[in-house]
Structure 1
Amino acid sequence: MTVRCVQNCVTLARRAGTPHKGAKQRKGLMMRLGVIGGSGVYDIDGLEGAEWQTVETPWGAPSDQILTGTLNGIDMAFLPRHGRGHVHSPSDVPYRANIDALKRLGVTDILAVSACGSFREDMAPGDFVMVDQFIDRTRHRASSFFSSGCVAHVSVADPTCGSLSGKVAKAAATTGVKLHPSGTYLAMEGPQFSTLAESRMYRDHWGPDVIGMTNMPEAKLAREAEICYAPIAMVTDYDCWHPDHGAVEVSDVIRVMKANAANARATIHALTQDLSGTHAPCPHGCDTALEYAIMTAPEKRDPGLVAKLDAVAGRVL
């Protein structure tokens, strides 16, 4: 099944409400949970009516087809971030197309799963971390849907959704995995792991808790698309700062990753049991992030760019 990039105006109005009316117009919005699977998480089992859909976007093709269906009565859309078979390097993941495609399918909330290294002795391989802050060290990735011709500025002071993160944390706790309720994620470019000097600098002077390669610009783009975003980081290693563990070896990462993937799937199943079929207005304002963000005057906007923003910003354009 193919979902094309040209949106019907009536569909957008029903999905997102009348432009510039904010949260009051968003009551009763149907909940659809999007899951972005990271390394080791390439599908979801147990989906009813499961179907891989091809979604076309004006930002190019997403990482892969999107698996849709229902789980415990909740509409789901699953996207493997690296593609099935792990074909996309972190720097080459089509982040804008991924978020646009999920928005186009009506996703209201995203659980983002990713593997990471740890800078903290107590955040050991096998632990999960609810990320609530980021340090963005990526350099080669488009980090916004907006540009000259339609300029917008959204706040990412609090880049994750506290409400959704709380529900994810509750779900993860049911699996028995050791869960850390907050943490700062340093996003590096990759695909190489850190040098020892970099790892020591990050840990000793910058203060992040974990390090990964994929949650940025994903979190920024989700905010621009007015989607609640909750990232859960699965620790696979100690980067290379730890004197007792040495350099990161892919074989060790894969071994831990397999156990993490099973806990991630269990978390997703538990989460759907705690969700309602209706997406209430977000108390953190995730779903109205664009309300006053667009700066370019209507008569000065680039029609071509505005057309590309039909799904992401259709509510306010």
Structure 2
Amino acid sequence: MEDSGSSSPPAPPPSFRNRYWILRHGRSVPNERGIIVSSLENGTKPEFGLAPQGVEQARLAGESLRKELEELGVPLDSVQIRYSPFSRTMETAREVARMLGVPFDSPSCIPAVELRERYFGPSHELLSHEKYAEVWAVDEVDPLMAPDGGESVADVATRFSQFLSAAEMELHGSAILIVSHGDPLQIFQAVLKETKENPSSLDEVSDLKKRGMITLSVLSQHRQFALLTGELRRLVPMASTRLDRRLHGSQTGGGDKQQQCIERLDRNNYTGQTDRSTLVRSISINNRLFFLFVTGNEGNNDNRGEKTTMATRRQNQQHCRLWIRSVL
């Protein structure tokens, strides 16, 4: 994807159980040649890796991330790097890992095919990057429409949402760096913006083409979240540690009781109050991801018709409402 102007990042979404940063790969050979390299077959070829300037951009991004982690008091051993298998993203991730002192051949650095470049189809592959404008014009009209043989905005949003759900199930308390590409990271930020404004949307986007329930106007404007090559952004803050410990069982009777409670809650559906609620953690049960929200408001259920499960429990001699939304 061609270089594009920087834009202010979206408002942070509700707190997840991990911290997230995104990094667009450094300037690449395709960037310098002005061609589109979006297929997995071509993108993994060594000749389409980073240009010298891109290596330096990756190094600087690694330095910036290390400094930010130190300022936040985040230990480097909590860093997890997930990257697109394309040559330009793999080389970027390797350079960042080197700057952080994270072994690139360790379980902390893993390629994720869900983070690959958006495939623009055979009619665009290896042609001038000026053809991006044709795709983006269609995106603004209909983010469900894909270039011939390629991926739509919705396709990319779906796989990135699935990646996020899987990361939330697999990891807890990690600083996760996502190294990917221009269009996918723009779309990912659009998904998170929608999640911020409508917490029910993440489960909807995970099956977007089938359900079509997310606000498509947000996805159609993904270009507002454009990144420069080598640009690093922090996206998602982690949940409150104190409350997270509470929900992990330190004051609720342990994980087994918690799982029994959630399984019991999942058998009932209610329309729940969502105002002043906070996303505090996610749980995987029977291969399903649940996001847990808590609010101190005991009444005034709204009429939005959102299907949730919830219960009232006593914590610290105060009533609070715990409601759970299934994502997968």
State the TM-score, normalized to the length of structure 1: 0.26
**Rg bigger for which structure?**
2
> Of Structure 1 and Structure 2, which has the larger fraction of its residues in helix?
2
